[in-house]
Chains A and B, each alone.
Chain A
Amino acid sequence: MMENWLALVDQTVWQKLTYGRWYILLGMVVVLQGCIEAYDPTLSLNANLVVVSGIVTDLAEPQTISLSRSRSSSDSASVSTPIQGASVVVVVNGTEQIRLLEKQPGIYNFPDGFQGKVGSTYQLRFQTPDGTTYESSTETMVSVPSIAKTYDQFNPEGPKKNANGLAVPANDVYVDLQDPGGERNFYLWRWRLYETQVWCASCQQGRYVAVDIGPVGSGPINVLGCVRDTTLSTFNMFDYPCRGLCWDIFYSTDIDVFSDVYSNGQLQVGHKVASVPIYQRDPALIVVELLSLSPNAYRYYKLFADQTQNTGTLADSPPAPIVGNIRNLSNSAENVVGYFSAASVSVSRHKIGRQDVTTGIFQGLFYATNGRYPNLESSLPGNPSPFGGASTSSICVPNRNRTDQLPPGWND
């Protein structure tokens, strides 16, 4: 068989080489192809973890601790259920015990007006409804320097890519920070961004109905919200402009930690804290917060960042179970995810004027987030409806991602 095969090779190659003097002369043949692609692994999941999240800060704003349980099994990737009915206590300075109240499922609030203080120590203790007690380590709130300067720069190629694979231009936001010398400082940066929003409600196969009870424009309104109208097609969307001022809030999702190990006592210049994609030409407000962390909290957040954000390189660190600072008093082997820390916060509000921006459309936030232009009711034939006057503007409903109050620092 080998003989036959060799004879075949002979035939093709030798004939060409000897009879026809046929040389293949190819240039470089290259095929372009990408190298990172989405993958769907079959994982054998098996976890039942208590997740604690919350930072005690010295800001004058409502503070919460959230407790939940994340279950993963082969049937469902991840189900997160809030732990309701737990008794949660924060011990301040070892003596004072502050009881937290559950206002929303799994979210336990500090009493109104509570503010942390630099130099105080805090410890979290809670007991779940099934009787298991957990306790955190004692965390000291250390002071944080103020942010020296916040500024932004137009970057025509931001990190995000649109549907066509092109980079979306962005505003890169930088901060300068004077690190206090003589002490070890660990920082956590986070931010939230306020963008003006002019479209406050969208209804699918329905109409937004708000009825003026009193005098139109100044009296009370009965908001019914989206009312189903089966005469419309299933995929029909109507969008309603906001009645009054409205801002959408975007939060930082990345974990950005920094340590002064190389730069103790120096002025940190040009730390890029955010790269805000320019969805619209209108100005926006970014509120940058700098939190001071304890050494262990810093290690925790850094490991988290390494394992979840800084992956995909040729030399990834091997993932490892992340150790928080909360332990089960009766079972020290249980690993609780999450870190209870106390941090002092220094806030900087910076208006991104976007005067130097050359792209983006005004009031284009809707288009950027929904991928389509707003569709007004009046665009349909047969409007206005013969059944009565439906309001064509909607209420800006405040929630975590939206506010109708003027953000502090907007008019600076």
Chain B
Amino acid sequence: MNQLYMGKNILLLWLSLLAGVSAYSQTSTRLYKERALGSEKGGSEVAIRIDSLGKLSYLLNDSTLTAFLPDSKKATGTAVLIFPDNNLKSQTIDSLSLNVAKRLVDTGIAAFIVKHKALQQSLSGTGKADSLSAASQALEDGPRAIEYLRQHATGLKIQTTRIGLLGFGAGGELVLQLAQRYVAASRPDFVASVNTANQSVSTLVVPPDAPALWVVITTGDTQQAAIQHTQLYQHWIKAGRSAELHIYAAGGNGKTIDQSGESWTIWINQLVNWLRTQGYLDRALPTAGQSQAQTVVPEKTLATNEATTVVKTSVAKAPVTQSEPVVFRKKQPSLNQASGFRISGVVRDSATGQPLAGAAIVIDYRKSLTGTTTDSKGYYSIDLPPGEHLLVARIIGYTPVRKIFQVRSEPITVNVAMVSVASQLEEVVVTTKGFDQTVRQPILGVNQLNVNALKKLPAVLGEVDLLRGLQMLPGVSSVGEASNGVNIRGGTTDQNLILLDETPIFNPTHMFGLFSVFPSDVLSTVDLYKGNVPARFGGRAASVLDVSLRNPNLEQFSLSGGVSVVSNKLTADIPIVKGKLGVLVSGRGAFNDFLLPVISDKLANIKAKFGDVVLKAFWRMDDKNTMTFMGYTSKDAFQTDLLANLPNVNGTATRYDHQTLNLMARWFRSISPRLNLQTTGTYVHYVPRILSPELSGNVVTLRSSVLQRQVKSSLNYQLNNQKLELGVSGTHYRVEPGTLLPGQSESVNYVTTPTENALELALYADYERSLGDKLAVSVGLRYSHFLSLGPLLVRRYRPGETRDEFSVIDSIQYGAGQITQQYGGFEPRLGIRYSLGPNASLKFGYNLMRQYLQVVTNTATPLPTSRWKTSDPFIKPQVSQLLTAGYFLTMKDNIYELTLEGYWRSTQHIIDYRPGADFLLQPYPETQLLQGKSKAYGVETMLSKKKGELTGWLNYTYARTFNQVYEGATVEQNVNNGNWYRAIYDRPHTVNANMTIDVDRHNSFGFTFSYSTGRPYSSPTGYVTIEGVQYPYYGLRNNERLPAYHRLDFTWNIYNPSMRNRRWEGRWAFTVYNLYARKNAYSIFFKTESGKTNAYMLQIFAAPIASLSYNFVFK
């Protein structure tokens, strides 16, 4: 609102009025410069009619303020804003309002009639259709009118502290609302309500400085009005505020008070009388220069504890709704000048304004000398010497507040507004997804990672790592620091389906397990399904990690990136057609391997470079169709002494090189608001290679490849409390297990293994429904069918004997496309949630999953070059059944969360290996493989605090995994003599704890602690001496354990250190990994050297690793 414009307008009118005006004068002012909200027609100019007799007739389109000003000799400096009732037929100001205005003016009070919006609508005949919106719009008029009066108080000759409201009927409703909800500038000093008839009289909250209240009604037709007004009066009184209530028993339709007959004079006299007793009829014109709202601090109300009605002094301090301190200067001297000056104030909840009792107040951290707590009114007071002080206010459930203030020569007031923790956003990294009322998410055993909170965790060498963050969850473990994947609930690493925007990732780490491949800057959501896996996912036996990248920003270009010890990254959001088409490009490159020897000298012989680039385009074709395209490629090249050389090739060194290309295209079509169709095509090509340069310089390459192409489509139907999804998918696998490319070598031949072709088809249906408010059920059924296709040579072996060259009977050659073997079956998925109350629930789940593509490797963790194998006539698919039960509880307004989950898993046809198995370029891998079964069980508990200045979680897991492999009695046909043995990732006890402290907007600290029992390893059961040389003999598998693993990390994140908001935002992260230098063992191995067997322990990160990284965002 342009005050200057309004001022000129008013002045013009005023001057014209003065030119020949009588005792009564009226001016009408438009409250809004622009067209007011809700007014469809164009705003017209104000039509003013000056009528000394007070009879007006003019059309009003906008909200207006009609002024009736008293004679300047009589003027008392008090003003009343009148809000008329809205059941009117005429378009003029009603006569009641007019009469009241005249009467007030007679007593020297300036009266302003407000044509508020509700009134508007009834005038224009739209009726009371949408009273809510009308009322809320009208509610704006009141404060605006008050503000306007205060701003022009001098000109209008009114005191800013003597502005009151008077409302009739519907106007009275408005007025009562305004009496309870206001900000300092728009607080009325007194409020009068006349015959406000209905339900909206309910009291919300009576503010501590609520205006004095005057009410008159009749019991009328319904007693409701009387009862409610009585309650209103009581609330007012109990809050210690001044109130006066008149209830007339006169019958029928309240005729006595709202008509312009004589009866209105009855109550108007009482109103005037009340105004007199309140002092508003005393002459107190404003002094020049006073234009802003000022409130005076009376001494009495602060110190009083009783709920007395305050009669004389009518005003308390304005409530503080921001967190800035409001500092006042008191006029009277302090109580105790010798030891300093008194500071006092009130601590309130910033949202509701309610005072907070029992809040701890400490000055300058000296609790013993200057600590106190607030009383039941939220009031505190402390004496302090002059100088600068820091006040800290704390109370449970609220974010602590710190303020610096100066004490000079007078006592001051420092008020504090505290923000409730419950209203903050959840900060913790991981939440177990609770039940979602709209049944969009599945129910049990889903963990969602908060990517932003993940970035605050300590990270190795400054690289935010998703897989390491995952290992902080209960049920997720790994075999060690350089492990190429994670183990979830007793499954192997290849039993987890890792999806990046629906494309599978075959090798999830760079640099052999040190860093993960996910581009952390563009992650959107990370969902880990380790319990109930929805039927739309299939193909792996243990879990699904669904990572999706965010969509490009369609509106604004932005650039972000970072530099750290390991890698350099850059991300750009490029909108191409604003609002319709945008592209996101993100790349990361690591070329800093020259720094690795500085960190650990075992890493000295590592040469490692990696890079990944992702490109995502999103096209909103129209309201119903969108297309998404994603391309991701990653490449690694590394060489290390810690990995074995390519055998049987005379190479001088060995380099590992792997790359992948993932492409995805998705079309989303919304057929109706409840039904949509989603079709996706993906293409993934993963090529790992081993390069072995010979003495002559020629490079011999061992190359393998996995190619997966998939098309799937699903139909989603969603109702209020049910959801149905139907889908179909088809996947083609082409696996080239290995080809030896000699290059120019004269020593090495070209050797290749037969390519595997396979087709996996699936049909699924997923139904989720909530039955009542206690029970929710998710039922899914997936049918998957697998066909192994030719061309393939399939051998037949003598039954009962070890499969090897000596037991082959014959072989069958299948042609291209012929089916060599089929497998298939149903995969039921069931989840049930039963609510024990608003905060607690029980969950049960059952899952069956089939896996047709797996890794065959006998190493502790799969190499990037490990072989992927589809099921075939000898290798049956792995089938895993999982049973879970859990208890889920949130406490204290969803701030704390407790989860308790137990599981039992049983897997058939797990893969294990004969002693000395060799898969490298092996055309008949069935001669090296054995299949057995596995059982795993465990209990996972987690307690997390999700909101507040301090967030974090603590979890404990007890988990066991055992395998049994027995295909025959000889040593080549079984493992561990057919007894159950511990899996390589069997770690019974695991504890993870994390704590993140947000000190202020610019700093946060994080600590992460993890403890886990050491993983099993095989140690010799005896030693043998052959020709004077001592060798170890291993009779059992995984019979010993490594020492326990534990480590503490620390991070300090500094955001925008210059403390200014600019287009460029930067963040420094200082991290120390393994703070107390625990030498965690990766493996214990035995080596025969110079005739003797010695035991060694290999550690990867044995020393604390500190790093500094910088990330920026530029918009």
Where the two chains meet, the residues of A that have a C-beta atom closer than 8 Å to any C-beta of B are 2-3, 6-7, 9-11, 13-15, 17-18, 23-24, 26-41, 43-49, 51, 53, 66, 68, 70-72, 77-78, 80, 174, 253, 258-272, 295, 299, 302-304, 306-323, 332-333, 335, 337-338
Contacts and interface: CB of A to CB of B under 8 A. Distances in A.
B3 interface: no
B215 to A, nearest CB: 46
Interface residues of B, number: 117
A51 B650 contact: no
Nearest to A312: B1085
A68 B1085 contact: no
Given A3-B394, A262-B751, A32 B648 contact: no
Interface string B720-763: 00000000000000000000100000111101000000000000
Given A26-B1108, A30-B599, A262-B751, A303 B1096 contact: no
Contact of B1106 (A26, A47, A260): A26
B1023 A313 contact: no
A45 B1020 contact: yes
Interface string B1027-1064: 10111111101111000000000001010010000000
B1095 A38 contact: yes
Contact of A32 (B642, B644, B1086, B1103): B1103
A105 to B, nearest CB: 13
Given A269-B747, A302-B916, A13 B1097 contact: no
29 contacts: A6-B400, A10-B365, A14-B390, A34-B601, A35-B603, A36-B1097, A36-B1099, A37-B1079, A43-B1020, A45-B1023, A72-B1023, A78-B1030, A174-B695, A260-B648, A262-B921, A263-B648, A263-B649, A263-B748, A263-B749, A265-B749, A266-B746, A269-B694, A269-B696, A270-B695, A315-B857, A317-B917, A318-B1037, A320-B1018, A335-B971
A120 to B, nearest CB: 21
A46 B1033 CA distance: 10
Contacts of A66: 1027
Given A51-B1025, A303-B915, A28 B1082 contact: no
B747 A314 contact: no
A31 B859 contact: no
Interface in B962-980: 969-972, 975
Contact of A308 (B598, B916, B1031): B1031
A336 B599 CA distance: 46
A46 to B, nearest CB: 6
A307 B1018 CA distance: 11
B494 to A, nearest CB: 14
Contacts of A27: 1108
B406 to A, nearest CB: 14
B861 A314 contact: yes
Contacts of A335: 971, 1035
Given A30-B599, A32-B601, A315-B863, A78 B1003 contact: no
B482 interface: yes
Contact of B747 (A9, A18, A30, A268): A268
Nearest to A66: B1027
Nearest to A41: B1095
Nearest to A323: B971
A70 B10 CA distance: 113
B392 interface: yes
Given A262-B749, A269-B746, 6 more contacts: A35-B1098, A35-B1100, A44-B1021, A262-B740, A308-B1093, A318-B860
Nearest to B565: A28
Interface in B851-902: 857-863
A50 B1077 CA distance: 45
B1027 A53 contact: yes
B749 A272 contact: no
B1099 A68 contact: no
Contacts of A312: 642, 1083, 1085, 1087, 1096, 1098
Contacts of B975: 320
Nearest to A7: B365
Contacts of B999: 9, 13-14, 17
Indicate the member of A48, A321, A337 with the most B CB atoms within 10 Å.
Answer: A321
B1019 interface: yes
Given A39-B1097, A321-B971, A51 B1026 contact: yes
Contacts of A35: 600-603, 1098-1100, 1102
Contact of A320 (B916, B1000, B1072, B1090): B916
Nearest to A77: B1023
B113 interface: no
Given A26-B1106, A31-B1103, A38 B747 contact: no
A267 B1105 CA distance: 48
A9 B995 CA distance: 13
B971 A317 contact: no
A337 to B, nearest CB: 5
Contact of A338 (B1026, B1089, B1097): B1026
A253 B1092 CA distance: 10
A-B pairs, 6 with minimum CB distance: A47-B1022, A320-B915, A35-B602, A78-B1023, A72-B1022, A303-B916
A271 B645 CA distance: 14
A340 B602 CA distance: 40
Contacts of B482: 314
B1034 A78 contact: no
Given A253-B1091, A261-B751, A316 B860 contact: yes
A395 B507 CA distance: 64
A335 to B, nearest CB: 6
B997 interface: yes
A49 B1084 contact: no
A322 to B, nearest CB: 7
Contact of B643 (A17, A38, A304, A314): A314
Nearest to B1089: A253
Given A28-B565, A303-B916, A322-B915, A49 B1095 contact: no
B860 A23 contact: no
Interface in B583-641: 598-603, 640
A279 to B, nearest CB: 14
B515 interface: no
Interface in B981-1014: 984, 997, 999-1000, 1003, 1005
Interface string B129-140: 000000000000
B360 interface: yes
Contacts of B519: none
Nearest to A308: B1088
Contacts of A34: 601-602, 1102
A341 B1035 CA distance: 23
Contacts of B1034: 307, 319-322
Nearest to B1094: A38
Contacts of B1106: 26, 28-30
A85 B1080 CA distance: 50
B1104 interface: yes
A384 to B, nearest CB: 39
Contacts of A315: 643-644, 857, 859-863
Contact of A45 (B1021, B1077, B1091): B1021
Contacts of B970: 323, 332
A32 B915 contact: no
A322 B1033 contact: yes
A80 B1033 CA distance: 13
A71 B1025 CA distance: 10
B1093 to A, nearest CB: 7
Indicate the member of A7, A10, A262, A269 with the most B CB atoms within 10 Å.
Answer: A262
B299 to A, nearest CB: 33
Indicate the member of A70, A174, A260 with the most B CB atoms within 10 Å.
Answer: A70
Given A33-B600, A321-B1034, A40 B1024 contact: no
